Amino acid sequence: MTQTPKDRDSAWRAKLSPLAYAVTRQAATEPPFSHAGFAPGAGTFACVCCGAPLFAADAKFESGCGWPAFSAPLPDAPVHEMRDTSHGMIRTEVRCAACAAHLGHVFDDGPGPTGLRYCINGVALDFKPDKG
C-alpha cells in the first residue's frame, strides 16, 4: 500500500521531536548555540530522518556561528544543494537527497581545503561513533 503525503507527514511527526520536525520537514532553524553538541571522537553524522551518512567527524570545526559546521560532506553523501531566496537573501540550502530533509545552508567562508562552511542544524543530525 502506498503512503499518502498525510501518512508520511504523520510518520515524520511520530519519529522526530517537534523541533527536529520543524527544522527537517518545514525548513525551520534551531536557535543558534542551542544544540548541546556531540560527543567528541571519530564517527559519522547521519541524517536524523533517514539515517543516511552525511559528514565525517573530522570535517567538523568550530566556526562560532552557533550551529555545527563542516568543511565538506562525506564522499558520495546524499547531500543536495539548492538556491534559497527566502528571508530576503540568496543562500545555498543543503538537504538530504535521500529523504529531502532540510539540513541547513552552505557558505563560502570556511577553512581549507574546500573553503566551505556547511552550517547544519544540530537537530537534523545523529552522531554515530566509530566502533572500535
Q: Is 96 a catalytic residue?
A: no
Cα–Cα dist 26/71, whole Å: 25
Residue 69 grid coordinates:
559546521
Q: List the catalytic residue out of 47, 49, 96, 119.
A: 119
**Cell numbers found for residue 15:** 519519529
Q: What is the gyration radius of the CA atoms in the chain, in angstroms?
A: 15
Q: Which residues are catalytic?
A: 119
